[in-house]
With several copies, the nearest count.
Chain A
């Protein structure tokens, strides 16, 4: 039973995607990466970025809050030092984290010709940076502008990763689709604040962070269903997946691919387990992933 999914002409051997920021640059655990549908790098910025002060992680039973920030090697080192080391058989998507149009121009111009790179995920949504990120992604107008620019600079697949924080993600989704994105990634982490009441200050070094993990799954499912019914390009779900059942829920809700994020932190081989669960399901049902995308019935 093949689990393959196509987004336009791009083929994915199964619907599982390792989410940005939760699997590094793809230099380790390649036995996992090589079994997945796609892999997305940590967000890359134009300049090397040292990231946020400690502490950077907080968790509850069903959530993770991170404020890693966009710690990354920066465009130059990524291109010269990291990219040559990446040795995977799975489509490589690079998460691009720009603050403004110029950043995105520089990033794409520099990376667009790299053969190793299958496509780009435009990070229009990171809540862990002061400029750009979420702010950019909260305006349909700016989402449209960045996507248009990116579209004009590359023929590679473009995924627009959006936020639902302080905006109507249906509108930003439409803007990204109209501007030529190949797919929407819904959603990045939710803005989140943890307070240290003794110190009367935020617990995380950066002040606040982004909430992810299983607790947000029903929220993101709702968004995926709404947006995929309204917008005519594929949706890639990101939020709270820990099992094959979760992936199937997202496919039914309308997602074409499904990202694994926080669960990789608990177990870097979670993707392999989830893949087995999917295989079993699709074999038993005698159906393919493509056959259930968006097939949620009404009540």
Chain B
């Protein structure tokens, strides 16, 4: 694990409780989609995990949703603040050999998928994205996905933007779905459970979250129950798992 003293270049509000943080590193090696960084905050003892949402040279973008004290603290940081970060952590996602692939984002789940879209785009793999959220205000990063994807489908629970309904209501009826080779999904646990029931017949990689202790494989705090009846560490064995292999 590498620790960094990084600088917050920009802290921009994207929507209700949603913030985009641009962070400048002094020293940064390869970062793969799916990997994450752990942020020290002044509000909690343990670090907080955030996926890399995008990269531009030595700058990483993170997108966060305020859900508790740690995220609230981060959301209030002003530009120029110094950040104590550890990372990159976790395994990068297995990149597909061919497309098209589809990204399935529920709410803040769009964050890590954006960086995946960027990498897929660089490798000229065709990529579609289905971005869902509760309301129009909570639909984030739509423009960024637009510039990287073949097709972007928007959906909101209340119909205030794009199609109306849950991601898993809309997905099965999409015409594009048939030639998709791999799905990548990130969203709340209920979304993964519903995706599992849909049984899309193609590999589906789930970007999981979990309350973490160490983020470095030492404490067993983050385990997700596998179909083998054992817990697997989201921090070092994940955070991306084949949906088939985990219990929800």
Contact = CB atoms under 8 A, between A and B. Distances in A.
A–B touch (CB < 8 A): the answer is yes
Interface of A: 21-24, 28-29, 42, 50-51, 53-64, 66, 68, 71, 213-214, 262, 264-269
A268 B218 contact: yes
B223 A54 contact: yes
A59 B45 contact: yes
Interface of B: 1, 3, 40, 42-47, 86, 210-225, 229-231
Contacts of A50: 229-231
Contacts of A268: 1, 214, 216, 218
Given A56-B221, A71-B220, A71-B223, A264 B45 contact: no
Contacts of B216: 28-29, 268
Nearest to A42: B220
Given A51-B223, A66-B219, A66-B221, A57 B211 contact: yes
B238 to A, nearest CB: 13
A66 B219 CA distance: 9
Contacts of B210: 54-55
A262 B47 CA distance: 12
A262 B224 CA distance: 21
12 contacts: A21-B220, A24-B220, A28-B217, A28-B218, A50-B229, A54-B224, A58-B211, A61-B42, A61-B45, A68-B213, A71-B223, A265-B215
Nearest to A28: B217
A77 to B, nearest CB: 11
A21 B40 CA distance: 21
Given A50-B229, A58-B211, 14 more contacts: A21-B219, A22-B219, A29-B216, A50-B230, A53-B225, A55-B211, A57-B219, A61-B42, A64-B46, A68-B221, A266-B47, A268-B214, A268-B218, A269-B1
